[in-house]
Amino acid sequence: MNGIIEALGGIWNIRDAFAEGALVTIQLFVLTMIFAIPAALPVALGSNCKIPPVRWLCKAYIWIFRGTPLMLQLFFFYYFVFPFIFHAPQVSALTIAVITFSLNYGAYLAEIYRGGIESIHKGQYEAAYSLGLGKTTTMFGVIIPQTVKRVLPSVSNEMITLVKDTALVSCISLSDLFRVVTKQVSARSNPLLYVAPAIFYLIFTFLLTLLTRFLEKKFSVTGEKGSEKK
């Protein structure tokens, strides 16, 4: 009991630092999703493109970012790409983290999208073409809406993984929640402070789970209504 009281007291004492770190973590998560979710779609479509250079480029991007550790990518962009290739050492750690995370998760989401698109029965394409719809209209008006419903569970899993992966940015000195608390643990010699970020991550993932379940039910109801109309 004393240990729990001590932990709660320690967490309260670092509330300001905790709030600052939590804000950075939330910013990283939101910005990554804003950039990665839409950017992954053209990559997914490009990986099935009939133009070889486009297809090879998209597949190479997916292969590289899915085949190397995210932490290694953070080091690569933070210590090499921006300082030496772009000659921009003044770029903030948060900006580099958002770019790296967006590229990494964009690759995973692109593969999820591609699998979802390929899972749509060819009869859907044939039916759309028979109605006089073009390829672009068929893809974005018929195929993509059905794909969204199918890939939503997988996308939600990636979102939950992202919440936990944000802790990796501490390796490039970004003051996210995990780094801030780690500093406080070292300064106060109180490892019980790690309870705070654990609770934060659990609550964050719980809320995301509720959100995705709501969206899954909504898309399911929408799909059922569309089927009834047909």
Contact 200, 177 (CB under 8 A): yes
Parse the chain into domains and list their residue ranges: 2-229
pLDDT of residue 228: 46
- Looking at residue 14, what DSSP letter applies? T
Q: Which amino acid is at 205?
A: T
State the pTM of this model: 0.87
What span, in angstroms and rounded, lies between the C-alpha atoms of 157 and 89? 34
What span, in angstroms and rounded, lies between the C-alpha atoms of 48 and 181? 44
Query: Rounded to 10 degrees, what is the CA torsion of 63, 149, 154, 64?
Result: 10
Q: Which of 19, 3, 14 is nearest to 185 (CA)?
A: 14
What span, in angstroms and rounded, lies between the C-alpha atoms of 11 and 198? 12
pLDDT of residue 23: 94
Signed CA dihedral, 28, 34, 35, 39: sign only: positive
CB atoms within 10 A of CB 26: 16
pLDDT of residue 195: 85
pLDDT of residue 186: 86
pLDDT of residue 76: 95
The CATH number fitting domain 2-229, selected from 1.10.3720.10, 3.90.550.10, 3.40.50.2300, 1.10.150.120: 1.10.3720.10
What span, in angstroms and rounded, lies between the C-alpha atoms of 215 and 195? 30
Mean pLDDT, each 10-residue run in order, the chain (230 residues): 59 79 95 96 93 95 96 95 87 95 97 93 88 87 88 93 94 90 84 87 94 84 50
pLDDT of residue 10: 65
What is the residue whose two structure tokens read 């990636």?
Answer: 158
